[in-house]
Amino acid sequence: MSLLEEAKPALSSVGTSTISVFETGEYEVNSITVESGGSSIDSPPPKSLLIFTPVKAGTYPVLHFLHGFALYNSFYSELLTHIASHGYIANAPQLYNPLRPWDSGYDEINSAAEVTNWFSQGLKLVLPEKVEADLTKLALAGHSRGGKAAFSLALGTYAKMSLSFSVLIGIDPVAGEDKDNQLRPEILTFQEQSLNLGIPVMVVGTGLGCKQAGFLTPPCAPTGVNHEEFLKESKPTRGHMVVTDYGHMDMLNDNPPGIIGLVSGIMCKNGEGSRDIMRKCVGGIVVATIKAYVEKDVTDLKAIVNDPTIAPTTLDPIVLDEAQLSFFLNN
């Protein structure tokens, strides 16, 4: 019997939230564009930012979100709006020019760290009146290569930060090829539990990410360097949820504009269903994970684990390690 099966009786006695994490939350959300300019914390951020924030006065936890390979942060606006509507301030920097993604290298991680350091003094200057960011409740997430960058940032070996993250969420993370076109990602060691992140990790995978969109296109999330490997190499506490019927880009907006948007829609194997369903599913998992590990409210994450059918599409498998189950059962 698996750990999850053993824990099911205890997990079944959970309440339900007033608003499902898979549906739009109760907060009206505005988006704010902040242009880059300088490295001082009193200046605009070192990289341009999209911020999705509740407009209602209050103090909210913060999500730092890193975009995927050769993508614009704006392609995630629907996903990040969903997350923010549940009472979070979601920040998405544009870490590099999507037309020159191979030039970024370690700069991608360094830029993400610089933006994180800017939050302490800069974020309050751009938020709506009477909206405050609680930077003691800070979550980190990234998609695709942005997921790899998020893992690297959380490790703290490539760039130093003045703030600490409470949880890491990898959304179909991928460690790609190096300049010699060999699979030697800087982050992965191919050794189990080798990534000592020091915080809980939730890895969200896709069932179709490892499949080819066509005969001539490689998989966008190849087996061996995708979500499964990131999960295997993370130390506890760690969890894993796979959105079975959707692909690597299906959490993006519908029909992102421009040539980059066109390419993002055809290079990866896509699911047959609506992207809105995928966005709600991924957004709900992110919200439930932040609530559990940042706000110490495990109700929604327990509910998903206990009954995956509450999600708008199939989640299979759901895997939790012993440390995560212990956390659930004691909260």
Look at residue 39 in the predicted model and tell me its pLDDT: 56
Average pLDDT over residues 215-243: 95
Look at residue 184 in the predicted model and tell me its pLDDT: 41
Average pLDDT over residues 295-317: 94
CA–CA separation, 242 and 97 (whole Å)? 30
Instruction: For residue 101, say if its preceding peptide bond is cis, omega within 30 degrees of 0.
Output: no
Look at residue 71 in the predicted model and tell me its pLDDT: 97
Look at residue 269 in the predicted model and tell me its pLDDT: 97
- 315 confidence band (pLDDT: 50, 70, 90): very high
Average pLDDT over residues 16-30: 86
Look at residue 262 in the predicted model and tell me its pLDDT: 95
Tens of pLDDT, residues 169-199: 999 999 975 544 443 447 899 999 999 999 9
- For the domain spanning 3-329, the CATH number is 3.40.50.1820
Look at residue 105 in the predicted model and tell me its pLDDT: 65
Q: Kindly report the pTM of this predicted structure.
A: 0.93
User: To the nearest whole percent, how much of the chain has pLDDT over 70?
Assistant: 89
Look at residue 185 in the predicted model and tell me its pLDDT: 45
Tens of pLDDT, residues 195-205: 999 999 999 99
- Is the pLDDT assigned to residue 235 strictly greater than 90? yes
Sketch the domain layout of the chain as residue ranges.
3-329
- 41 confidence band (pLDDT: 50, 70, 90): low
Tens of pLDDT, residues 42-91: 678 999 999 999 999 999 999 999 999 999 999 999 999 999 999 999 99
User: To the nearest whole percent, how much of the chain has pLDDT over 90?
Assistant: 79
Q: What positions carry a catalytic annotation? A: 144, 172, 248
Own/partner long-range contacts of 273-276 (Cβ < 8 Å, ≥24 apart): 273/245, 273/246, 273/313, 275/250, 275/251, 276/78
Look at residue 331 in the predicted model and tell me its pLDDT: 73
Tens of pLDDT, residues 110-158: 999 999 999 999 999 999 999 999 999 999 999 999 999 999 999 988 8
Tens of pLDDT, residues 101-123: 876 667 899 999 999 999 999 99
- 320 confidence band (pLDDT: 50, 70, 90): confident
